[in-house]
Structure 1
Amino acid sequence: QSSLLVISVVLMFVCHECYGQCTGGSDCSSCTVSCTNCQNCPNARVACTGSTNCINALTCTDSHDCHNAETCTRSTNCYKAKTCTDSTGCP
């Protein structure tokens, strides 16, 4: 029975990372989809909200270092953004 419990716990963590959505935390580098109120989100591919180091997110809101974002709202370093609202670094 204990091995079944261990397998269940491992699967729970694996499935959580499949979605890769993270809220809070000082190192969200394992988040692959989105970050909310996280520091260090270089691998979030979809969205960052209130987060930092969002270099690959497509949408940034109240976030920092959104180098590749297409849409930035109140964010910084939006070098490639097509839509910028109250953000910096927009082309």
Structure 2
Amino acid sequence: MVCQNLLLIISVVLMSCLCHEYYAQCTGAPDCSACTTACTDCVNCPNALTACTRSTNCYKAVTCTKSYDCYKAVTCTDSTNCYEATACTNSTGCPPSAYIHQIN
């Protein structure tokens, strides 16, 4: 019985590790560093490649909406640090040619 329980515990822990490693999309998590596609309402989303919405540390996302540190974003809306954006609405850190409407 002890061996069966031990095997069950090991299996659950192993599956937890394997299944938790990468996610395409994350919503409302305190650490979304494993998200590779999109984040919504997340903290720490450095690996999302497509979109960030109301999230932080969106370093690689192509589109940011109400998000922070969108260094590589092409389109930013209500976001910060959009250094490479080509279109910005109410965002900061955008190149001068990208502003559609600048924050006052």
Shift of 1:25: 1.0
The partner residue of 1:55 within 55, 59, 69 is: 59
Cα distance in 2 for partners of 1:22, 1:45 equals 12
Greater strand share, 1 or 2? Answer: 2
- Stretches of structure 2 that go unaligned for 5 or more consecutive residues are 1-7, 96-104
Normalised by the length of structure 2, the TM-score is: 0.72
* % identical equivalent positions: 62
Question: Which letter maps to 2:71?
Answer: H
Report whether the alignment pairs 1:30 with 2:34: yes
Shift of 1:53: 0.1
Question: Which letter maps to 1:24?
Answer: G
Cα distance in 2 for partners of 1:26, 1:90 equals 27
The C-alpha deviation readout for 1:60-82, integer Å capped at 9, x for no partner, is 00000000000000000000000
Normalised by the length of structure 1, the TM-score is: 0.82
Greater Rg over alpha carbons, structure: 2
Match of 1:79 in 2: 83
Paired residue total? 85
Question: Which letter maps to 1:61?
Answer: T
Question: Which letter maps to 1:71?
Answer: T
Structure 1 vs Structure 2 CA RMSD: 2.3
